[in-house]
Structure 1
Amino acid sequence: MTIAARSILFVPGDRAERFEKARASGADMVVIDLEDAVLPDRKCAARDAVHDALASLTEPRFVVRVNSLDTDWHADDVRALAALPGVAGLMLPKAERASDFAAMREAAGGKPLHALVETVSAILNLADLVTAPGLSRLSFGTVDFQADAGIDGDRAEIDHVRTQIVLQSRSAGLAAPVDGVSTDLSDDAALESDTQHARRFGFGGKLCVHPRQVAIVNRAFLPSDADVDWATRVMSAIDGAFGAVAVDGKLIDKPVVDRARRLLATHDAFRSAA
């Protein structure tokens, strides 16, 4: 069972000295950002810096967020970086339809593609977007989406959108999606609450904009001790059993067993990072 990254940490593309520091933060995935984190007059220099840093690597270590399809930098970003050995995948901001990924998929040569869902059009086109060949995961760009939709609030106000992203991801066989950033870097309790909220809605990860957010996000996506205990007892109860089996007075059927397996797989995959 493949377990998707919980913490996805962005690092500015024009700060090459931070790339390896970001990896040392404990983030499950590091995204070098050529879009929002880089000013327009530094885009080309940032691309060159990322090229130099990743061309010298012998294994894929970083996902790169290229500039959006409607910019002058997008095609050059993809052309210069997609095939580098240090690139583990490409992330497309403001992705809205499956066809947006055609050129990226060809250039990436089978590397995973990630879509940032940030516009009203993307939500209305989700059923098409998730069919993009090579697409591995959706991430919800909550801040940009709220601005585009004219919605003020990132909880109940957009939870119906979260549900659509989770269901469309599940329907297409993609990894559980990634929720958007928590922008208050000083409020650990709010970050914990936001991450637990995303987890309850079926998200499997959260975008991070500072290394201090990583540990909190990672912990929040780990199954609790009570969950692990319950899942262990479920798997023990069905081992060699015939007929109906109950745990804690509740009948154990296939969906319950599947949930127990997922919990234990997640726990085993990430317990060393807890």
Structure 2
Amino acid sequence: MTFELGPALLFCPADRPERFHGALEKADAVIIDLEDAVLPDAKATARSNLLEADLDPDRVIVRVNAPGTEAFDADLAVLSKTRFRTVMVAKTESAESLDAFDDGFALLALCETARGVHAADAIAAHPLVVGMMWGAEDLVASLGGTSSRSSAGAYRDIARYARSRVLLEAGAYGKAAIDAVHIDIDDLDGLAAEAEDAAASGFRATACIHPRQVPVIRAAYRPDDATLGWARAVLAAAEHERGVFRFDGRMVDEPVLRHARSVLARAEGA
């Protein structure tokens, strides 16, 4: 099973069922959140909402609570009664914890603690994992820190390391990588820059927390006309060349052609 959703994945609290359909209409997929977006005394209601949700299961991801918690067990009991089978597992810290799911599920492992990032390679290798996501705020909290970003807005080194490690381990096992949310909702320029970097680096999608962020992410993942034109032209030129060749003053070999194919794939998925 592979991960085909993206590029804009919109979180929606499971205790706000009136928002479910709107979120799904606006984004490429909706993440119905049973975890941090829902207060403890509202989780039972949130699970009931999930049971009653009339949504396309192919475009719904359910974020469950962390493995090993009572809330996680309750989430799984409810999921078994629904058609939703793509699950984001909050605070995944070991591959073994994912054995609680049967073969009918496709898992997105959210590595957002020090232990989770440390175990990212083993988690990515789990056969039910189709994608990996990282999270900055819980990561820094797990380390005893107070902020994932500098005063200038850039991620601190530890957050950049976690982002890179999750992307690398996901890629090593052929799994999709999902970039973390940009929590400053009004900073659309910052979101655009991060999403553009995510797309260029190999992330398959970016999660978001507000509908305003969806078009920004989609635009960032969509190749511009110049890049798309270059990709088509260099691949056309490669049909008449053997091995390494020169194109527009640049050496072109198989890795460059793979870049071009990725550009076309992003355009088709936009």
Write out per-residue CA displacement over residues 29-87 of structure 1, whole angstroms, 9 at most, x where no aligned residue.
21100111111111111101111114xx57533111111113212112112214522x1
Q: Could you tell me how far apart the structure 2 residues matched to 1:58 and 1:127 are?
A: 31
Q: How far is 1:93 from its partner?
A: 0.2
Q: How far is 1:17 from its partner?
A: 1.3
Q: Could you tell me how far apart the structure 1 residues matched to 2:51 and 2:92 are?
A: 23
Matching residue's letter, 1:64: V
Q: How far is 1:196 from its partner?
A: 2.5
How well do the aligned residues superpose, as a CA RMSD in angstroms?
A: 2.0
Matching residue's letter, 1:145: L
Q: How far is 1:256 from its partner?
A: 1.1
- 1:182-261 paired onto structure 2 within 5 Å: 182-242=182-242, 244-261=244-261
Aligned to 1:47: 47
Matched residue SS, 2:70? coil
Paired residues, what number?
262
Q: How far is 1:265 from its partner?
A: 1.4
Give the counterpart of 1:101 among 98, 103, 108.
98
Q: Could you tell me how far apart the structure 2 residues matched to 1:22 and 1:69 are?
A: 26
Cα distance change of structure 1 residues 207 and 233 upon mapping to structure 2, 3 Å threshold: same
Q: Could you tell me how far apart the structure 1 residues matched to 2:89 and 2:42 are?
A: 19
Matching residue's letter, 1:44: A
Cα distance change of structure 1 residues 237 and 92 upon mapping to structure 2, 3 Å threshold: same
Matched residue SS, 1:211? coil
Q: Is 1:174 aligned with 2:183?
A: no
Identity %: 33
Q: Could you tell me how far apart the structure 2 residues matched to 1:186 and 1:243 are?
A: 48
Aligned to 1:7: 8
Q: Could you tell me how far apart the structure 1 residues matched to 2:81 and 2:226 are?
A: 44
Give the counterpart of 1:76 among 57, 74, 91.
74
Matched residue SS, 1:38? coil
Contact 1:8 1:30 in 2 (8 A): yes
Question: Unmatched 5+ residue regions in structure 2?
Answer: 150-154
Write out per-residue CA displacement over residues 3-51 of structure 1, whole angstroms, 9 at most, x where no aligned residue.
55111111010111111100111x2221100111111111111101111
Q: How far is 1:144 from its partner?
A: 0.9
Q: Could you tell me how far apart the structure 1 residues matched to 2:56 and 2:245 are?
A: 50
Contact 2:62 2:87 in 1 (8 A): yes
Matched residue SS, 1:241? coil
Q: Is 1:127 aligned with 2:106?
A: no
Contact 1:95 1:122 in 2 (8 A): yes
